[in-house]
Structure formats: structure tokens, C-alpha cells
A = this chain, B = another copy of it.
Amino acid sequence: MSSYTPEALRECHSKIQPYIHKTPVLTSHLLNERTGATLFFKCENFQRGGSYKMRGATHATLLKKEEGHLPGVVTHSSGNFAQALSLAAQSLNIPAYIVMPKNAPGVKKRAVDQYGGSVFECEPTLEAREAEAERIGKETGAIFIHPSNDPMVMLGQGTAALELLEEVETLDHIVVPVGGGGLLGGTALATAFFGGPCEAIGAEPLAVDDAYRSLQAGRIMGNESTDTIADGLKTVLGSYTFPVIQQYVRTILRVTEGEIIQAMHLIWERMKIVVEPSSAVALAAVFKDPVRFKGKRVGIVISGGNVDLANLPFT
């Protein structure tokens, strides 16, 4: 884990800065009142590509490019990382090959296409995705970049918390959603390096609480089903993200689907911003544990804003 240093995180940030937005930090009187905490929302829904994933995708691609000729990057993702890697590669004039399951929504494929990535369809199994990504790598020379389980991706994701810590004085906690662990791992590093007593906390749907159980068990656990509205959080921790989270994170809070939707509705209605369900998981966690957060200054990373507007959970 020698690559995880304060200097490495700073260098990562200065490298990716030309390619990313410095996203705003928003506040809400009403949500402060309702939670009893003072909340600072780091709005990565306003990030290029619509999510924080742009940070890690850019960092990993930049470093690979610095190593020498880079014929392309390849990943398998049907979510925000697909768009992020396409956009990052486009900014760096490198082809991006995105492997997606056949049954992924057309809107996701079009988004990749719009950002200059090439979509390759495969059967909707992990095996088929990995095989197709490997084939493309062999054929084109493109380097595989994992959506979360990659130290350079994780460092990149940590720059959102770094910016938040630079902008807002003395936070007690930073709460972020946890899926593959790239954001939580990066946030934990940023917090450990630059947050003083500030503590990184993970927020997870009860329906896919693999990170919570992994921390308890001391090894990476899976999920028996992935039935959650927070579609960005269905993945599990990996060989790089788990050790970092194990070292730095004490607390993972779990919330129900109803709590996620309620928090999402509050954010849309009161803050007037479009956020995806995965982002609302962090606010839902703050509501879930009022004793822990009462009177505290709490950062929340709004992870993204890519939703299907024709298919919202509000009734």
C-alpha cells in the first residue's frame, strides 16, 4: 500500500484537475434542521459525466498514458464508470472500449456513444464480460481499467473528499455510499491524510450490505441478491479496496429501500438538485443514526445524478 500517501493524493489531484470540474458544496437549512447536524453536500452530480467516477477514470487513464504509448482503455460497466471512462479517454485522445451486457438500457449505451466510447455487447454474466474485455485488450492493446478495484482509481475518487476538506473547515464525518469501495476507500485515505479527527463512514443499502458484513467477517463477502434501487451499489469490495477500508473505516451504516427513496425525495424537493438513488443512501444513513450525527459537521458526497427521468420512484 506504499502508493497511498498524502503526497500521492495531492499529486493525483493536481494531475486530474484540468480534466474535472471542481464541484460546488451546497448546504440546506431545512436538512440541517431535520437531521440536527450541519451538512455539507459535495455535489459530484455536477461532475463531468454526471458522477465522481470521472475522477478515478481520469487518473488511471492519465497514469497509463504517462507510462508510454496507450492504444486504448477497456472496461466492463453498465453504469457511471462506462460514461466516465469514455469521457476521460476522449479528453486524452485515447479510444475507450466499453463492454456492456446485452440487456443494458439503451440510454446507457447512447451515453457512452455520446462521450466517444465504443460499446461492445456481451451476455449478461460476469464471465462473459471479463472474457469480452480480455479479447478486446488482446486485439487492440487496450489496457483494462477496473471501475473500483484499482489503487489509482481509488486515489482519484478520494479527490472529492480532498476538495471538500479543503473547502469546509473541521468536519467530524464524511459519509459516502459504498458499492465496489473505490469512493469509500479514496475518501478514507483523504480523511486519514487531511481530515484530522474527521472519520469516513460508509452508507449501504441493507439489501446489499456486503461491505458491512465484510468488515465484520474480516474478509470480502458477497450478496445473495442485488435487489436495490441504488443501482450503483450492487458491486462488492475488491482486493484493493477492502484492505484500505478495513484499515481506515470503523462504521458502515445500512438503510432500507424506503429510507433511500425518502432521502432522495427530500434532496430533490428541498435542494432542487437531481441525484441518483445511490447518492441518497448517504443522507438516509445520517437520518438513520441521529445520535451519532447530532450537532456534528458532516460532509456528504453526492455521488452522481444519472437517473432515468421517465422512471422515478416518487409517487
Query: Is B272 a contact partner of A272 (Cβ separation < 8 A)?
Result: no
A46 near B: Cβ within 8 Å? yes
**Interface residues of A, CB < 8 Å — how many?**
17
Within 8 Å CB of A24, what residues of B?
Answer: 24
> Do A272 and B269 touch (CB < 8 A)?
no
Query: Quick one: closest B residue to A315, CB to CB?
Result: B310
Among A46, A272, A275, A305, residue most surrounded by chain B Cβ atoms (within 10 Å) = A272
- In the complex, which residues of chain B have a beta carbon less than 8 angstroms from the beta carbon of A275? 272
Q: Is A131 an interface residue (CB 8 A)?
A: no
Tell me if A177 is interfacial: C-beta within 8 Å of chain B.
Answer: no
A291 within 8 A of B: no
Chain B residues with CB under 8 Å of A50's CB are 272
A274 contacts the other chain (CB 8 A) = yes
Instruction: Indicate whether A45 reaches chain B with its CB closer than 8 angstroms.
Output: yes
- What is the CA–CA distance of A265 and B312 in the complex, to the nearest angstrom? 13
At the interface, yes or no: A268 with Cβ under 8 Å from chain B? yes
Measured between C-beta atoms, what is the minimum distance from A51 to chain B in Å? 10
Report how far A46 CA is from B46 CA in the complex, Å.
Answer: 15
A217: Cβ under 8 A from any B Cβ: no
A48 to B, closest residue via Cβ: B29
What does the 1/0 interface line of A262-299 toward B look like (CB < 8 Å)? 00010011001111000000000000000000000000
Are A46 and B274 in contact, with the CB atoms below 8 A? no
Instruction: Give A248 Cβ to nearest chain B Cβ, in Å.
Output: 30
Q: Which residues of chain B have C-beta atoms less than 8 A from A1's C-beta? A: none
Q: How far is the CA of A50 from the CA of B28 in the complex (A)?
A: 12
> Are A45 and B272 in touch, CB under 8 angstroms?
yes
CA A103 – CA B45 in complex, angstroms? 37
Nearest-CB distance from A187 to chain B (Å)?
Answer: 21
Contact of A273 among B269, B272, B309, B315 (CB under 8 A): B272
Query: When A and B form their complex, which 7 residue pairs have the shortest distance between CB atoms, in order from nearest?
Result: A272-B305, A272-B274, A309-B314, A45-B272, A310-B314, A310-B315, A268-B274
